[in-house]
């Protein structure tokens, strides 16, 4: 059975863009606006000869009352089923309360986590990534899912956890 890697994080941080980058094709639906409800979607993926199942956790309905809860529910199921987690944070925004809520779930799960500091499109944004050490999840991997920057190092880290 292939190991399962779940990609979790709040809406619009670039999870689906990252999944497409890893797959090398456009399969996960990328939304410019958060708020489309979609199920978790699993893909066959491979990195340096290691095959694994990559799970994109889809968008959540955004409503003022329920966003935290919905993010937590979706993330919780995905984390539960995963052997390792890619936790995606938008480095240009920094850690939000919603991110902190997911961190709590990750801690409780004791699953191995690679922290993806996404949207680091250039060297100038490297400092944004370093800010995410504050989440207490270890080294933030600066990545631009849009341009492919840093994804190799992040995937190496994921494979090391499987």
Q: Which stretch binds ligand GDP (CB under 6 A): 100-108, 128-136, 139-147, 151-159?
A: 139-147
Examine residue 70 and tell whether it contacts ligand GDP (CB under 6 A).
no
Query: Was 156 annotated as part of a binding site?
Result: no
CA dihedral 88, 89, 91, 92 (to 10 degrees): 120
Nearest approach in angstroms of CB 58 to ligand GDP is 7
Nearest approach in angstroms of CB 58 to Mg ion is 6
**Of the candidates 38, 112, 107, which has an alpha carbon nearest to the alpha carbon of residue 74?**
38
* Window 2-31: residues binding Mg ion (CB under 5 A): 15-16
Output DSSP code: residue 109. H
Half-sphere exposure of 93 (CA within 13 A, CB side): 14
Q: Which stretch binds ligand GDP (CB under 6 A): 72-80, 103-111, 114-122, 124-132?
A: 114-122
Nearest approach in angstroms of CB 75 to ligand GDP is 12
Q: Which stretch binds ligand GDP (CB under 6 A): 24-32, 78-86, 98-106, 134-142?
A: 24-32
CA dihedral 100, 17, 23, 59 (to 10 degrees): 60
Nearest approach in angstroms of CB 34 to Mg ion is 8
Task: Measure the CA angle with vertex 93, ends 133 and 158; round to 5°.
Answer: 50
Beta partners for residue 32, in sequence order:
none
Query: Was 66 annotated as part of a binding site?
Result: no
Task: Measure the CA angle with vertex 17, ends 14 and 23; round to 5°.
Answer: 140
Output DSSP code: residue 155. H
Which residues make up the interface to Mg ion (CB under 5 A)?
Answer: 15-16
The contact set with ligand GDP (CB under 6 A) reads 9, 11-17, 30-32, 34, 59, 118-119, 121, 144-146
Binding residues for GTP: 9-16, 56-60, 118-121
Q: State the binding site.
A: 9-16, 56-60, 118-121
């Amino acid at each position: 059975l292939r190991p399962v890697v779940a990609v979790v994080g709040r809406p619009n941080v670039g999870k689906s863009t990252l999944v497409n980058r890893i797959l090398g094709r456009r399969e996960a639906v990328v939304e410019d606006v958060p708020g489309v409800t979609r199920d978790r979607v699993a893909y066959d993926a491979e990195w340096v000869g290691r095959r694994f199942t990559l799970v994109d956790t889809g968008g959540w309905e955004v409503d003022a009352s329920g966003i935290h809860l919905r993010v937590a529910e979706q993330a919780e199921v995905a984390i539960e089923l995963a052997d390792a987690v890619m936790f995606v944070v938008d480095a240009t925004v920094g850690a939000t309360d919603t991110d902190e809520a997911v961190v709590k779930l990750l801690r409780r799960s004791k699953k191995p986590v690679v922290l993806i500091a996404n949207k680091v499109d250039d060297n100038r944004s490297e400092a944004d990534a370093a800010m995410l050490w504050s989440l207490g999840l270890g080294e933030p991997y600066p990545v631009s899912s849009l341009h492919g920057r840093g994804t190799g190092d992040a995937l190496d880290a994921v494979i090391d956890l499987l």
